[in-house]
Structure 1
């Protein structure tokens, strides 16, 4: 398994799988992180204070006072050279409602025209794929998911929006995502999801996690409003959208 080590000063280093990307790279990174965490748990690796994952790299942070930097680096490199075990990475599956209508889908018509498809065909294609969450980043709770159908792969907008509404379901290049907060953004907005993706009051604030699977279920504007209201009033919980959830 090919990788390179990037030194990040005297208290951190990054393992980067240069030839891997997308779901393959993300699986390899999750496997490495799991192995390092297991080694920390058994006391085999010491001094690690944090780990930061992307879709093809893992940064390992050590306490500056720890004297065994080279030892830890070599231990992690030894683990990095082994392939991921797909059977151990079966995460949860979510079915999230998305309204692809009106002002909730400001770029749907443009994307359909560029793809040479009807708006309904774009909806069918986008909602007909099960997406793997590669990583959580950019914003707290923001899931980068892959891979979208080649017919819907377009670069980011030339002019990013200064305000993208929370819950916006978007596409760019070979990925799709959901904006958990109102923020600037340059992705193409196809719809909106009423389920909050981040709650600081929860033990695990981010609803979605890397390695999980997300499916989108088209809903009408009336159903979107109902679901949104039920969630706000506590009549419906986010876990209701888990496969097998109640």
Structure 2
């Protein structure tokens, strides 16, 4: 042994844009361009393709990116990187036909502790924010952050609100929040830097269920206004 890391010995002399090594058994591919459903569908397609490669253990879609892990550290990293980049160029959008789950949400009140901050930023009333937030059907782009959590696309930019400068230490499961141009629902209690505007009783993750996560990429969420509390 000469002490050289085989994964680095075969790496390209100039890293390809959008591809980062994560240790010796994984890499992160970041798609070029803005986040959109069309780009996300290509990510899903790339994941399906990469999972068929014998050296790949898992391909996990993220928002505008793909995490690829190997069964063992590869000795020819450059070839894998080039293969992944080529597969992205030829990837066709994969339109997954998932379910649409309706979530009743009570906006504001004790379950929407930061509604006042969103009101102050947008200049809209709580009722208007609820109406705008509940209007779209939100596609699930990816799962992550914590078990069962869904990254959603499609929020109306009129209610986009910057993330909080000081995160809160704990929000409950079912908390409906806005962070920048995104919205989501907490699947379990935990810290958050987003603005909580409401709450739902839906359970997004149950280890005894098969599969344990309620939703998968390609599914959709429709929020239903169950009430607005000032």
Q: Separation in 1 of the partners of 2:130 and 2:22?
A: 43
Q: For residues 25-65 of structure 1, give each alpha carbon's deviation from its aligned partner in whole angstroms, at most 9, with x where no partner exists.
A: 3222111112233xx2xxxx212112232111112111226
User: Runs of 5+ in structure 2 lacking a partner?
Assistant: 1-15
> Following TM superposition, by how much is the alpha carbon of 1:22 offset from its aligned partner in structure 2, in angstroms?
3.6
> Following TM superposition, by how much is the alpha carbon of 1:220 offset from its aligned partner in structure 2, in angstroms?
4.0
User: Per residue, is there more strand in 1 or in 2?
Assistant: 2
Match of 1:53 among 61, 66, 85: 61
> Following TM superposition, by how much is the alpha carbon of 1:197 offset from its aligned partner in structure 2, in angstroms?
0.3
Q: Separation in 2 of the partners of 1:119 and 1:5?
A: 42
> Following TM superposition, by how much is the alpha carbon of 1:189 offset from its aligned partner in structure 2, in angstroms?
0.8
Q: Indicate whether 1:192 and 2:206 are aligned.
A: no
Q: Separation in 2 of the partners of 1:215 and 1:195?
A: 12
Q: Separation in 1 of the partners of 2:187 and 2:77?
A: 37
Q: Indicate whether 1:98 and 2:105 are aligned.
A: yes
Name 1:19's counterpart in structure 2. Answer: 33
Q: Separation in 2 of the partners of 1:154 and 1:93?
A: 26
TM-score by length of 1: 0.78
Match of 2:169 among 162, 175, 194: 162
Q: 1:3 to 1:194 in 2, by over 3 A?
A: same
**RMSD of aligned C-alpha atoms?**
2.3
Secondary structure of the corresponding residue to residue 183 of structure 2:
strand
Match of 1:6 among 20, 25, 42: 20
Instruction: Report if aligned partners of 1:51, 1:61 keep a CA contact under 8 Å in 2.
Output: yes
Q: For residues 153-181 of structure 1, give each alpha carbon's deviation from its aligned partner in whole angstroms, at most 9, with x where no partner exists.
A: 11111121111011000001111000111
User: Runs of 5+ in structure 1 lacking a partner?
Assistant: 222-246
Instruction: Report if aligned partners of 2:50, 2:56 keep a CA contact under 8 Å in 1.
Output: no
Match of 1:32 among 46, 63, 68: 46
Q: For residues 175-229 of structure 1, give each alpha carbon's deviation from its aligned partner in whole angstroms, at most 9, with x where no partner exists.
A: 10001111011111111010100011122111111222111001149xxxxxxxx
Q: 1:69 to 1:217 in 2, by over 3 A?
A: same
Match of 1:142 among 128, 136, 149: 149
Aligned residues: 213
Q: Separation in 2 of the partners of 1:90 and 1:3?
A: 31
TM-score by length of 2: 0.83
1:197-212 alignment to 2 at 5 Å?
197-212=204-219
Secondary structure of the corresponding residue to residue 13 of structure 1:
strand
Name 1:243's counterpart in structure 2. Answer: none
Q: Separation in 1 of the partners of 2:29 and 2:141?
A: 16
